């Protein structure tokens, strides 16, 4: 069994990632996420990354081995939806005490697993390692192995303690755990030439459900979605899919690549954000399936569906055009590819004044230039202070971003719309884009923004440029 | 029997026991001669239609479920806001029992109030003797500093003359000649509780300013730098008046709260019974004539008083129950203008925090439809705030709001894109509202406790803002004025929105895919 250190090195060396491949040997070893700067604000840890990547598997008991900090602050905090079991929303933790730190927490972990099996009888238990239990040397892999034998149930160790790195690394380590312990351990009842995997889709706000009807109509079966609205067995037999789509590329690319290597499942990177992207993804899925032996007529059926859905979506977006024409949008995104929504916003008559490229590849950047012109404002990793300054300077009408940046937008007196994981509306697929444009329209025309941009009436002389703009 | 001494079941549980269920069923089947269930359902459904609504709105004489109370209730409210003052209602004692229970149910505090207990003979021969005895008895029994007299309909119908009666009572030695007995005629068949408040407050001011019913020379106004504040009939008076006093303090403004029952309706439990507590001192009430200006927070609730004050040479700032950013801005800036004092930074910060809170939650109220009813000034304040929040106040109704009020509401609608589809209904009752909730459905209803029947009938969730609120406790402690007050109103509305969202998604295994901990 590979040590954690080896595994970290392994995921750092990702041949399917062009960014990674462009690096020198030494650089690659440092990993793909930037080293953290002590004292500077930072995002989630590897544990968090692993947890959010796997938590959407709905019928599994997710047990966090560690002190209350890790699960206590984080349980059930993502809007990934389930059509079936709600067990994934229950917070399980060993909640270790001082004595456990001194004497070791393995026994408590084992007992906790037993109690979960006795009380909940889930198809599997995922055990998450955390900093403290890793530091005191609790061997969760050994405990899980013993428990698996004892209870005749897969007890899966997810070895991604927070200190090994950032969230993105945790996503990958979670993927490694699936590859090592889950994928390929069960067989589906039957297979079809139209079985696909969708990897890196978390069904946030039920987005998968906006895509599924389209696939259903084409007769394409999602054999397994890793991990949105997934059941354990679906992930376990995902190796029987004919093709795969990688949705959030930087998070689980190792899973897609290794499944291609091991099980001959070709994959492509795609997105369900944006109309052209959704169409392109559907085309790719059809193409790969035909390549793998599905009937050729799938291609023409797919084109027909695309034509119908696109017409409907553009028409839907066009309705909002009169109120959105000329509005300036700033995109600050995390996992969602910026360019993939650009075309929808442009169709709504909006102008994109800037976009972040924090997680974008060179190819992404080229696409952005293609859509927005050579002088497109692209921004790399941005401190809130810079974001604030930029928002003021570039005078956008609205910012689309994740929840963490919302308060920057609000302080700079700008309407804001959540397009990350805590959003309440689903923006995927064709209908999703219409919904996004509708939400932008709503946000832009909320009367509070006029209020926000005006200083208190008695402070009129202190008004700044944003007020001049509002007027 | 399921009832036993060991475990006594209360009314929530007892009548669900089988023997009662059986008894009710039997009674219904054998004695009630009910209409067939289909006919009943048919009628229920019919009451939800446009056809029924038309007939409902064609009502000319009958009022069903009124959203107003009577004049003397307002008069008692006003009297209760003065130091050591006993509200004395000349008329029948039953009315007075209503006022006391009404206020006690809302404020969860006792309300001191007496009547002259007129009976049939008094109705025939006039209530003078009741006044003479009543004033004498209440003066010696309860030792008030002032007795504020108002009237019930009974005294008004027979035309008792308060001025003459009080004069005669003093001559007969009921109370000392120089003792303060302001009065107001407050017939319930005119206006509503807000009219009564107005008349009673006017009566007190007239008494002190205009020479105590001809017994002393009228006061001559010598302008000073003080500001009078009149809150009007206000169910949130405990929270509001304290908040307003805090704002005055932040500014450093000398002020007189004209009518301040915030302490009388919030006495501590410390072993001492306070029949009277706090309130505007009689000296302050008299000296209020010298103030630089008066702020009328609910002008429709104090029309007569406002006119009286203006006639005595004071500027009156006329507001309509300001709630929200814009309305509170106006209030704060008027304070600054009339006093010449700069707006304190602390207030500017509070304003910023309110705007921030509205922005943070903007998506959840935006586009939601509301129906609201209540006193006319309250409706103006809430309507403006809802429009500010991007909500649509589709139905705004008031039983005691008139045409002039409706025009003011319409002006608010006209000034906002969110007011396009909104309609105002003056002089309508809660049975009209019921029809409207069926034919023009909304997401939420805003009103007092009586709205709970509408909530149940029409499945429109009720947000309790108004007076009276009997079935929720202590709401009156939280201000709705000032930026902090608007924050409370915002939170009250949001709480209900999220409660509904949760209730709509909590089906185990059915809808709970959206039963989220983060909203």
Q: pLDDT of B289-308, one tens digit each?
A: 999 999 999 999 999 999 99
Distances (CA, A) of B200 to B104, B182, B187: 20, 8, 12
Closest CA in chain A for residue B341? A458
**Which residue of chain B is at minimal alpha-carbon distance from A423?**
B519
- pLDDT per residue of chain A (471 residues) written in tens, 0 to 9: 468 888 888 887 777 776 677 777 777 666 665 566 777 767 789 999 999 999 999 999 999 999 998 998 888 888 889 999 999 999 999 999 999 999 999 999 999 999 999 999 999 999 999 999 999 999 999 999 999 999 999 999 999 999 998 888 999 999 999 999 999 999 999 999 999 999 999 998 888 999 999 999 999 999 999 999 999 999 999 999 999 999 866 678 899 999 999 999 999 988 888 888 899 999 999 999 999 999 999 999 999 999 999 999 999 998 998 999 999 888 876 544 566 677 778 878 888 887 776 666 666 677 777 777 766 677 766 677 777 877 777 678 888 877 667 777 777 778 888 776 556 778 889 999 898 888 888 888 888 888 888 888 988 754 454 445 454
In this structure, the number of other CB atoms found within 10 A of the CB of residue A217 comes to: 13
The last residue of one of the domains, among A182, A205, A234, is A182
Q: Same domain, yes or no, for A312 and A341?
A: no
Is B107 a member of any domain?
yes
Tell if the CB–CB gap between A76 and B329 is shorter than 8 Å: no
Per-residue DSSP letter, B219: P
Residue A215 located in a structural domain: yes
pLDDT of residue A249: 61
- pLDDT at residue A471, rounded to an integer: 45
Nearest CB to A422 within list B356, B387, B518: B518
Domain range for A394: 321-456
CA-based nearest residue in chain B for residue A407: B360
Average pLDDT score, chain B = 95
- The confidence band for B73, taking pLDDT boundaries of 50, 70 and 90, is very high
Each residue's pLDDT tens digit, B34-66: 899 999 999 999 999 999 999 999 999 999 999
Residue A467 lies in a domain: no
According to the model, what pLDDT value does residue A465 have?
47
**Same domain for A325 and A308:** no
- Tell me whether residue B418 is in a domain: yes
Chain A residues 427-466 with CB within 8 Å of chain B:
442-443, 445-449, 451-452, 456-459
Query: Mutation test of the interface with chain B: which of A229, A440, A447, A453, choosing the one with the most B Cβ atoms within 10 A?
Result: A447
Same domain, B195 and B235: no
Q: Name chain A contacts of B336, Cβ cutoff 8 Å.
A: 458
CATH of the domain at A152: 3.40.50.1980
Please tell me if residue A83 touches chain B, with a CB cutoff of 8 Å: yes
In total, how many domains does chain B have?
A: 3
Do the bridges between strand A351-356 and strand A378-379 make them parallel or antiparallel, or are there none, so unpaired? parallel
Q: Per the domain annotation, does B49 fall within a domain?
A: no
Query: Which of B359, B514, B519 is closest, CB to CB, to A410?
Result: B359
Classify residue A471: in a domain, yes or no: no
Min mean pLDDT across A18-27, B218-227, B399-408, B417-426 is at: A18-27
On whether both A309 and A344 belong to a single domain, the answer is: no
pTM: 0.88
φ/ψ of residue B231, rounded to 5: -80, -25
**Does B439 map to a domain?**
yes
Answer whether A452 sits within 8 Å of B390, measured CB to CB: no
Does a structural domain hold residue B45?
no
Matching residue, tokens 């709600």: A86
Regarding whether A373 and A404 lie in a shared domain, the answer is: yes
Q: How distant is the Cα of B424 from the closest Cα of chain A, in angstroms?
A: 21
Q: What is the mean pLDDT of residues B114-143?
A: 93
- Residues of chain A by 3-state class (helix, strand, coil), percent to 5: 50, 15, 35
Residue A396 located in a structural domain: yes
Helices (H) and strands (E) in chain B, counts: 22, 12
Domain boundary residue, one of B300, B315, B349: B349
Return the sign of the alpha-carbon dihedral for residues A311, A313, A319, A320: negative
pLDDT of residue A382: 67
Residue B234 shares a structural domain with residue B342: yes
Residues B254 and B184 in one domain: no
Q: In terms of residue numbers, what domain contains B475? A: 363-504
pLDDT digits (tens, 9 = 90+) for B376-407: 999 999 999 999 999 999 999 999 999 999 99
The number of folded domains in chain A is 4
In a domain, B26, yes or no: no
Contact between A401 and A388 (Cβ < 8 Å): no
**Catalytic residue ranges of B:** 153, 157
How far is the CA of B489 from the CAs of B354, B401, B479, B482, B483, in angstroms? 11, 22, 9, 11, 10
Contact B307, B296 (CB under 8 A): no
> Of A165, A157, A201, A212, nearest to A181 (Cα)?
A157
Residue A47 shares a structural domain with residue A90 = yes
Closest residue on chain A to B514 (Cα): A81
Lowest mean pLDDT among A30-39, A243-252, B333-342, B424-433: A30-39
Quote the pLDDT of residue A35: 65
A positions 188-207 inside 8 Å of B (CB): 206
Instruction: Provide the H-helix boundaries in B143-236.
Output: 153-157, 162-171, 193-209
pLDDT of residue A335: 47
Beta carbons within 8 Å of B204's beta carbon, 6+ residues apart: B78, B79, B82, B148, B182, B259, B285
In this structure, the answer to whether residues B143 and B96 fall within a common structural domain is yes
Name chain B contacts of A452, Cβ cutoff 8 Å.
355, 359
Residue A448 and residue A400 share a domain: yes
- Do A344 and A436 lie in one domain? The reply is yes
CA distance A410 to A389: 13
Full DSSP string of A2-58: --HHHHHHHHHS-TT-HHHHTS-HHHHHT-SSPPP-TTS----BHHHHHHHHHTTBT
Do residue B255 and residue B339 come from a single domain? Answer: yes
Show the tokens assigned to A287.
Answer: 């193409």
Residues B436 and B474 in one domain: yes
Q: In what order do the strands lie in the sheet with B369-373?
A: B423-426, B392-398, B369-373, B444-447, B462-464
Q: Say which CATH number the domain at B384 has.
A: 3.40.50.1980
User: What are the DSSP calls for B469-480, one per residue?
Assistant: --SSSSGGGS--
Q: Please indicate, yes or no, if residue A189 is contained in any of the structural domains.
A: no
């Amino acid at each position: 069994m590979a040590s954690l250190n080896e595994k970290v090195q392994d995921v750092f060396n990702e041949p399917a990632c062009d960014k990674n491949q462009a690096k020198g040997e030494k650089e690659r070893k440092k990993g793909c996420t930037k080293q953290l700067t002590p004292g500077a604000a930072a995002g989630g840890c590897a544990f968090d990354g692993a947890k959010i990547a796997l938590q959407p598997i709905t019928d599994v008991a997710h047990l966090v081995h560690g002190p209350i900090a890790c699960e206590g602050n984080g349980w059930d905090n993502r809007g990934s939806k389930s059509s079936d079991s709600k067990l994934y929303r229950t917070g399980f933790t060993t909640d270790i005490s001082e004595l456990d730190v001194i004497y070791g927490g393995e026994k408590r972990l084992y007992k906790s697993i037993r109690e979960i099996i006795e009380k909940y009888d889930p198809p599997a238990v995922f055990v998450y390692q955390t900093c403290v239990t890793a530091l005191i040397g609790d061997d969760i892999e050994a405990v899980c192995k013993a428990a698996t034998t004892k209870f005749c149930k897969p007890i899966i160790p997810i070895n991604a303690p927070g200190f090994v790195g950032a969230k993105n690394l945790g996503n990958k380590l979670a993927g490694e755990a699936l590859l090592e312990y889950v994928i390929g351990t069960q067989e589906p009842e039957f297979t079809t030439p139209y079985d696909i995997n969708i990897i890196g889709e978390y069904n946030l706000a039920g987005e998968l459900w906006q895509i599924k009807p389209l696939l259903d109509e084409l007769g394409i079966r999602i054999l397994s979605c890793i991990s949105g609205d997934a059941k354990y067995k679906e992930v376990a037999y995902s190796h029987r899919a004919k093709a795969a789509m990688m949705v959030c590329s930087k998070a689980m690319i190792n899973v897609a690549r290794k499944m291609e290597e091991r099980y001959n499942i070709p994959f492509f990177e795609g997105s369900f954000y944006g109309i052209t992207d959704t169409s392109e993804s559907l085309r790719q899925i059809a193409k790969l399936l035909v390549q793998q032996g599905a009937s050729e007529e799938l291609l023409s059926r797919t084109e027909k569906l695309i034509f119908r859905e696109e017409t409907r979506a553009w028409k839907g977006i066009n309705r909002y055009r009169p109120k959105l024409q000329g509005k300036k949008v700033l995109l600050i995104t995390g996992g969602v590819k910026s360019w993939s929504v650009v075309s929808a916003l442009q169709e709504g008559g909006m102008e994109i004044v800037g976009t972040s490229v924090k997680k974008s590849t060179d190819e992404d950047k080229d696409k952005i230039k293609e859509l927005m012109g050579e002088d497109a404002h692209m921004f790399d990793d941005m401190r809130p202070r810079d974001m604030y300054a930029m928002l003021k300077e570039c005078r956008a009408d609205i910012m689309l971003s994740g929840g963490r940046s919302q308060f920057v937008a609000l302080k700079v007196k700008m309407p804001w719309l959540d397009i990350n994981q805590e959003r309440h509306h689903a923006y995927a697929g064709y209908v999703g884009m219409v919904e996004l444009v509708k939400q932008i329209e709503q946000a832009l025309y909320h009367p509070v923004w006029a209020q926000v941009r005006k200083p208190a009436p008695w402070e009129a002389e202190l008004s700044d440029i944003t007020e001049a703009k509002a007027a | 029997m399921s009832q036993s001494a060991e475990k006594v079941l209360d009314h929530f549980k007892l009548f669900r026991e089988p023997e009662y269920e059986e008894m009710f069923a039997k009674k219904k089947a054998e004695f009630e001669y009910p209409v067939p269930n289909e006919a009943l359902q048919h009628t229920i459904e019919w009451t939800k239609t446009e056809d029924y609504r038309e007939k409902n709105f064609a009502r000319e004489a009958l009022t069903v479920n009124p959203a107003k109370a009577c004049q003397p209730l307002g008069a008692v409210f006003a009297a209760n806001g003065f130091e050591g003052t006993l509200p004395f209602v000349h008329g029948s004692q039953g009315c007075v029992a209503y006022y006391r229970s009404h206020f006690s149910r809302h404020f969860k505090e006792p309300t001191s109030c007496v009547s002259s207990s007129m009976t049939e003979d008094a109705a025939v021969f006039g209530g003078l003797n009741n006044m003479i005895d009543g004033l004498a008895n209440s003066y010696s029994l309860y030792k008030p500093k002032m007795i504020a007299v108002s009237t019930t309909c009974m005294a008004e119908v027979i035309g008792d003359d308060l001025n003459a009666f009080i004069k005669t009572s003093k001559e007969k030695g009921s109370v000392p000649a120089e003792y303060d007995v302001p009065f107001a005629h407050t017939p319930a068949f005119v206006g509503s509780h807000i009219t009564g408040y107005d008349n009673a407050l006017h009566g007190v001011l007239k008494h002190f300013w205009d020479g105590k019913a001809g017994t002393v020379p009228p006061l001559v106004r010598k302008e000073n730098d003080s500001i009078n504040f009149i809150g009007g009939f206000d169910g949130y008076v405990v929270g509001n008046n304290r908040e307003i006093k805090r704002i005055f303090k932040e500014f450093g403004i000398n002020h007189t709260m004209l009518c301040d029952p915030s302490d009388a309706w919030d006495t501590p439990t410390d072993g001492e019974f306070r029949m009277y507590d706090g309130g505007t001192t009689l000296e302050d009430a008299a000296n209020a004539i010298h103030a630089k200006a008066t702020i009328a927070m609910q002008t429709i609730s104090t029309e007569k008083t406002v006119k009286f004050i203006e006639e005595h040479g004071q500027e009156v700032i006329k507001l309509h129950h300001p709630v929200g950013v814009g309305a509170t801005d106006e209030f704060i800036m008027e304070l600054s203008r009339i006093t010449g004092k700069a707006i304190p930074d602390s207030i500017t910060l509070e304003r910023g925090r309110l705007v921030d809170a509205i922005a943070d939650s903007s998506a959840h109220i935006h586009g939601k439809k509301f129906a609201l009813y209540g006193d006319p000034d309250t409706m103006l304040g809430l309507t403006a705030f809802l429009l500010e929040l991007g909500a649509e106040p589709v139905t705004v109704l008031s039983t005691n709001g008139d045409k002039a009020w409706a025009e003011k509401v319409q002006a608010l609608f006209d000034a906002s894109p969110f007011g396009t589809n909104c309609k105002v209904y003056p002089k309508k009752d809660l049975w009209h509202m019921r029809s409207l909730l069926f034919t023009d459905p909304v997401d939420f209803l805003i009103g007092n406790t009586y709205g709970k029947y509408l909530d149940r009938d029409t499945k429109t969730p009720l947000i309790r803002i108004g007076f009276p609120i009997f079935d929720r406790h202590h709401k009156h402690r939280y201000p709705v004025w000032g930026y902090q007050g608007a924050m409370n109103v915002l939170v009250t509305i949001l709480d209900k929105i999220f409660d509904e969202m949760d209730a709509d998604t909590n089906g185990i295994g059915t809808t709970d895919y959206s039963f989220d901990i983060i909203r």
